[in-house]
Amino acid sequence: MFFFFVGGVEQEVSKVIKAGAGRCINCGSVADLVEYEKVLKMFFFPVWWWPGKDPTMYCKNCLLIFSSFAYIPTQPNPIYKDWVIEPVFNFCPFCSLALNSDPTLLHACL
């Protein structure tokens, strides 16, 4: 007996919490903070839904859903405005993005 099954689990946006809350880690466009649901699909039809654990970021441009802990802020953070990144860092200690050849330049999160 041969059985063929087509199905899988997807993440779908259920509600936008804050529009324009950050930037996409893939394409750099504006991303929204959203609540999401996981959806079990069998033969491309949704069968079962359950809520996701934490709010995440969603990019409408590239349709990427990514962790809200990895987003790039849209506005500079005033807390870090007087801080200078030491030249020994290859990555920003605040947002973990790779730095340019001159790490003393102001970064997007500063």
76-95 pLDDT, tens digit each: 555 555 666 666 767 766 66
Burial of 53 (0-12, 13-18, 19+ CB in 10 A): exposed
Q: Provide the percentage of residues in the chain whose pLDDT is more than 70.
A: 62
Residues 41 and 48: their CA atoms lie apart, in Å, by 7
pTM beyond 0.95: the answer is no
Residues 12 and 102: their CA atoms lie apart, in Å, by 40
Residue 70 CB coordination number (10 Å): 12
Residues 50 and 73: their CA atoms lie apart, in Å, by 29
